[in-house]
Amino acid sequence: MSSLQLDAEALYAELKRGVQGLQAGAPVKLVGVTSGGAWLAERLQRELGLPGEIGVISSALHRDDFAQRGLSATAEQTRLPFDVNGAHVVVVDDVLYTGRTLRAVLNELFDYGRPARVQLAVLVDRGGRELPMAADFAATRLPLPPGQSFELARGDDGTFSFVVEHKPVA
Protein backbone atom coordinates (compact mmCIF):
# COMPACT_ATOMS: atom_id res chain seq x y z
CA MET A 1 0.00 0.00 0.00
CA SER A 2 1.37 3.42 -0.90
CA SER A 3 1.96 6.02 1.79
CA LEU A 4 -0.63 8.76 2.19
CA GLN A 5 0.89 12.21 1.68
CA LEU A 6 -1.08 15.31 2.58
CA ASP A 7 0.23 18.87 2.59
CA ALA A 8 -1.42 20.27 5.72
CA GLU A 9 -0.16 23.82 5.07
CA ALA A 10 -1.64 23.86 1.54
CA LEU A 11 -4.93 22.54 2.92
CA TYR A 12 -4.83 25.19 5.66
CA ALA A 13 -4.51 27.91 2.97
CA GLU A 14 -7.61 26.48 1.27
CA LEU A 15 -9.45 26.33 4.61
CA LYS A 16 -8.58 29.98 5.25
CA ARG A 17 -10.04 30.93 1.86
CA GLY A 18 -13.20 28.95 2.64
CA VAL A 19 -13.68 30.50 6.08
CA GLN A 20 -13.33 33.96 4.51
CA GLY A 21 -16.23 33.01 2.23
CA LEU A 22 -18.38 31.90 5.18
CA GLN A 23 -18.01 35.36 6.75
CA ALA A 24 -20.29 37.05 4.22
CA GLY A 25 -22.78 39.15 6.14
CA ALA A 26 -22.75 39.05 9.94
CA PRO A 27 -19.47 38.86 11.85
CA VAL A 28 -18.56 35.30 12.82
CA LYS A 29 -17.32 33.73 16.01
CA LEU A 30 -14.79 30.95 15.43
CA VAL A 31 -15.05 27.90 17.67
CA GLY A 32 -12.37 25.23 17.36
CA VAL A 33 -12.97 21.61 18.33
CA THR A 34 -10.23 20.39 20.69
CA SER A 35 -7.42 19.99 19.81
CA GLY A 36 -6.73 20.19 16.07
CA GLY A 37 -9.73 22.37 15.37
CA ALA A 38 -8.72 24.76 18.15
CA TRP A 39 -5.23 25.10 16.64
CA LEU A 40 -6.77 25.88 13.25
CA ALA A 41 -9.26 28.39 14.68
CA GLU A 42 -6.51 30.16 16.63
CA ARG A 43 -4.41 30.65 13.51
CA LEU A 44 -7.42 31.59 11.37
CA GLN A 45 -8.49 34.23 13.93
CA ARG A 46 -5.03 35.79 13.88
CA GLU A 47 -4.45 35.66 10.11
CA LEU A 48 -7.96 36.84 9.18
CA GLY A 49 -7.77 39.66 11.73
CA LEU A 50 -11.09 38.76 13.34
CA PRO A 51 -11.95 40.69 16.51
CA GLY A 52 -12.32 39.02 19.89
CA GLU A 53 -11.17 35.60 20.99
CA ILE A 54 -11.83 32.18 19.55
CA GLY A 55 -13.92 29.68 21.41
CA VAL A 56 -12.73 26.18 22.16
CA ILE A 57 -15.25 23.38 22.42
CA SER A 58 -14.91 19.84 23.72
CA SER A 59 -17.07 16.91 22.70
CA ALA A 60 -16.09 14.87 25.78
CA LEU A 61 -19.20 15.30 27.95
CA HIS A 62 -21.70 14.64 25.15
CA ARG A 63 -20.06 11.70 23.40
CA ASP A 64 -22.23 8.62 22.93
CA ASP A 65 -19.25 6.51 24.03
CA PHE A 66 -18.50 8.53 27.18
CA ALA A 67 -19.14 5.50 29.42
CA GLN A 68 -16.36 3.60 27.64
CA ARG A 69 -13.90 6.47 27.06
CA GLY A 70 -14.43 8.63 30.11
CA LEU A 71 -12.87 12.09 30.38
CA SER A 72 -9.24 12.45 29.33
CA ALA A 73 -7.03 14.16 31.90
CA THR A 74 -5.38 16.14 29.10
CA ALA A 75 -8.59 17.16 27.32
CA GLU A 76 -9.10 20.90 27.04
CA GLN A 77 -12.47 21.95 28.38
CA THR A 78 -15.00 24.15 26.57
CA ARG A 79 -14.28 27.88 26.71
CA LEU A 80 -16.64 30.24 24.89
CA PRO A 81 -15.58 33.86 25.61
CA PHE A 82 -18.64 35.39 23.92
CA ASP A 83 -22.42 35.23 24.14
CA VAL A 84 -23.56 32.29 22.03
CA ASN A 85 -27.16 33.56 21.84
CA GLY A 86 -27.77 35.07 18.41
CA ALA A 87 -24.16 34.58 17.27
CA HIS A 88 -23.06 33.37 13.84
CA VAL A 89 -20.73 30.52 14.85
CA VAL A 90 -18.27 28.77 12.55
CA VAL A 91 -17.13 25.50 14.10
CA VAL A 92 -13.65 24.54 12.89
CA ASP A 93 -12.29 20.99 12.99
CA ASP A 94 -9.39 19.14 11.45
CA VAL A 95 -11.06 15.91 10.26
CA LEU A 96 -14.74 15.08 9.73
CA TYR A 97 -15.37 11.35 9.77
CA THR A 98 -18.44 9.65 11.31
CA GLY A 99 -20.17 12.83 12.50
CA ARG A 100 -20.33 11.63 16.12
CA THR A 101 -17.86 14.22 17.43
CA LEU A 102 -19.76 16.98 15.64
CA ARG A 103 -23.07 15.81 17.14
CA ALA A 104 -21.51 15.97 20.61
CA VAL A 105 -20.00 19.41 19.87
CA LEU A 106 -23.38 20.79 18.77
CA ASN A 107 -24.99 19.50 21.97
CA GLU A 108 -22.24 21.19 23.99
CA LEU A 109 -22.62 24.46 22.03
CA PHE A 110 -26.37 24.55 22.65
CA ASP A 111 -25.74 24.08 26.39
CA TYR A 112 -24.29 27.62 26.22
CA GLY A 113 -27.12 29.25 24.28
CA ARG A 114 -28.93 29.39 20.97
CA PRO A 115 -26.80 30.67 18.10
CA ALA A 116 -28.46 32.32 15.10
CA ARG A 117 -26.42 30.15 12.73
CA VAL A 118 -23.85 27.38 12.97
CA GLN A 119 -21.59 26.42 10.08
CA LEU A 120 -18.83 23.83 9.88
CA ALA A 121 -15.43 24.26 8.22
CA VAL A 122 -13.02 21.32 8.16
CA LEU A 123 -9.56 20.69 6.82
CA VAL A 124 -10.38 17.15 5.62
CA ASP A 125 -13.69 15.37 5.08
CA ARG A 126 -12.75 11.71 4.99
CA GLY A 127 -16.27 10.35 4.41
CA GLY A 128 -17.59 7.37 6.39
CA ARG A 129 -20.55 9.18 7.95
CA GLU A 130 -22.61 7.35 10.55
CA LEU A 131 -24.78 10.41 11.23
CA PRO A 132 -26.25 12.90 8.73
CA MET A 133 -23.63 15.64 9.14
CA ALA A 134 -21.96 17.69 6.42
CA ALA A 135 -19.36 20.45 6.32
CA ASP A 136 -20.28 23.81 4.83
CA PHE A 137 -16.67 23.97 3.69
CA ALA A 138 -13.99 21.27 3.44
CA ALA A 139 -10.49 22.06 2.18
CA THR A 140 -10.43 18.55 0.69
CA ARG A 141 -12.52 15.39 0.59
CA LEU A 142 -10.42 12.28 0.94
CA PRO A 143 -12.07 8.91 1.57
CA LEU A 144 -9.78 6.60 3.52
CA PRO A 145 -9.89 2.81 3.72
CA PRO A 146 -10.83 1.12 7.00
CA GLY A 147 -7.83 0.89 9.29
CA GLN A 148 -6.23 4.08 8.04
CA SER A 149 -6.61 7.38 9.84
CA PHE A 150 -4.78 10.63 10.33
CA GLU A 151 -4.73 13.52 12.72
CA LEU A 152 -3.41 17.04 12.63
CA ALA A 153 -0.11 17.83 14.34
CA ARG A 154 1.29 21.28 15.11
CA GLY A 155 5.01 21.98 15.17
CA ASP A 156 6.79 24.28 17.61
CA ASP A 157 6.82 26.95 14.88
CA GLY A 158 3.02 26.69 14.45
CA THR A 159 3.08 24.86 11.11
CA PHE A 160 0.70 22.00 10.51
CA SER A 161 1.35 18.45 9.35
CA PHE A 162 -0.52 15.15 9.46
CA VAL A 163 0.28 12.01 11.39
CA VAL A 164 -0.97 8.96 9.47
CA GLU A 165 -1.87 5.79 11.36
CA HIS A 166 -2.43 2.30 9.97
CA LYS A 167 -4.40 -0.07 12.19
CA PRO A 168 -5.17 -3.71 11.43
CA VAL A 169 -8.77 -4.20 10.30
CA ALA A 170 -10.59 -6.72 12.49
Identify residue 126 by its one-letter amino acid code: R
Q: Is 23 helix (H, G, I), strand (E, B) or coil?
A: coil
Sheet of 117-125, strands arranged across: 55-57, 28-33, 88-96, 117-125, 137-141
Q: What is the pLDDT of residues 21-32, one digit of tens each?
A: 988 777 899 999
pLDDT of residue 96: 95
Return d(Cα 82, Cα 134) in angstroms, integer: 25
Quick check: 139 and 124 in contact, CB under 8 A? yes
**Interval 63-121: pLDDT, tens:** 666 555 555 555 679 999 999 999 999 999 999 999 999 999 999 999 999 999 999 99
Q: Which CATH number fits domain 8-65+80-143: 3.50.50.100, 3.40.50.2020, 3.20.20.10, 3.40.190.10?
A: 3.40.50.2020
pLDDT for the residue numbered 105? 96
Question: What's the predicted TM-score (pTM) here?
Answer: 0.90
Angle at the Cα of 73 from the Cα atoms of 72 and 75, rounded to 5 degrees: 60
Does residue 4 have a pLDDT over 90? no
